[in-house]
Amino acid sequence: MRTIDDLDVSGKRVFVRADLNVPLDGDRITDDGRIRAALPTIEKLRERGARVIVAAHLGRPKGAPEPRYSLRPVAARLGELLGADVAFAADTAGESARATSAALADGQVALLENVRFEPGETSKDDAERGELADRFAQLADLYVGDAFGAVHRRHASVFDLPGKLPHAVGGLVLTEVEVLRKLTDAPERPYAVVLGGSKVSDKLGVIDNLLGAADRLLIGGGMVFTFLKAKGYEVGSSLLEADQLDTVRGYLERAEREGVEIVLPVDVVAAEKFAADAPHAPVDVEAIPADRMGLDIGPRSQELFAAKLADTRTVFWNGPMGVFEMEPYAGGTRALAQSLIDSGAFTVVGGGDSAAAVRALGFDEAAFGHISTGGGASLEYLEGKDLPGIDALA
């Protein structure tokens, strides 16, 4: 793949597909990690005299403008971080976008409105996506793909547009792929994978693939209750995907056959209801009350997970151990993150809620080997799937 260094960008309009899908509380950005991750590529292009046109999505609008998903607050924060004004186009690929692009001088930056305000962005119809990609192509001379969090999507600005302009891979995507290759090609062992989050069904492909690659799988979060139920435990009112029980039983049997250790919690923090102020207490997994739900791994499980990570050389983590947004149920995720740091292993935090938890719980990001910007993309890469946005940059 060509990199930015292979392109002559001076005086050229460069369309940069970035991942600026940040969480918002109204118009306040609550975690600007993805914006900061996009800065090196944008700054490098600016320094080389490019006229930078940044495109990104936010949330899941239905192919039409929705004020709550506007990127205007992101433009303001991007300007603050760059220390320079960022022009904002009021549309995605229309009159405002064309005028904003044409007005840029060397080294200046503009941000287009949310690409998902256009129905063609996410369309399954090749012609509809292609028409939008043609309009995007009119805005620029070159294309740089740097939105790792979207490379698993066959979208117009990610997959179709690179075929219409001279293109290169951005620094963020290049780094992400290099890191993930360390997990798939020849990871240092022992290699452990920690999976959490709410649903087993979100992780089926990656579990299936990792059973042949990892030495240990540590399971936490809401998804663990389907594993516990599959082993015969009662799980009270905890989150349960009953339709996945047979699949999970198959994974447990296969792991035993192939010598892959699956580590499950031995206790959980069980609460009367899904609320921070609900009565709650640690209970053994063999004794979860019928009227309580597990919302975090318990203190003995925290110690068990730390012991299972202590001798590892490589760890991939995707998904929190509990409802870390509520302080009574943040202990498991906090303890896991500290265990990763203490292990001395090469640690990869797989984006999404895991990366958000690292920042929300006050950890130094530099203490981890790599914090990915793409949870879904990371998982699909580890599943062995082709990523359309990577293929388009080849």
The catalytic residue positions are 34, 199, 352, 376
Crossing angle between the packed helical segments 299-309 and 331-343, to the nearest 10 degrees = 20
Say how far apart CA 330 and CA 318 lie, in whole Å: 15
Looking at residue 237, its amino acid is: S
Tell me whether residue 299 is exposed, middle or buried, using C-beta atoms within 10 angstroms of its C-beta: 0 to 12, 13 to 18, 19 or more.
middle
For the record, the structure tokens of 265 come out as: 């919690």
Say how far apart CA 29 and CA 31 lie, in whole Å: 6
β-pair partners for 3: 169
How distant, in Å, are the alpha carbons of 141, 223, 286, 310 from that of 195?
A: 42, 9, 21, 17
254 contacts: CB under 8 Å, gap ≥ 6: 211, 260
Crossing angle between the packed helical segments 331-343 and 352-360, to the nearest 10 degrees = 90
Q: Is the peptide bond before 65 cis (omega within 30 degrees of 0)?
A: no
Evaluated on CA atoms 340, 270, 200, 217, the torsion sign reads: positive
Which of these, 116, 113, 20, lies nearest to 64 by C-alpha position?
Answer: 116
Residue 317 CA from chain centroid, whole number: 11
Residue 278 has, within 13 A of its CA and on its CB side, a CA count of 17
126 contacts: CB under 8 Å, gap ≥ 6: 160
How distant, in Å, are the alpha carbons of 4, 94, 107, 190, 209 from that of 146?
A: 10, 23, 18, 32, 26
Say how far apart CA 246 and CA 226 lie, in whole Å: 10
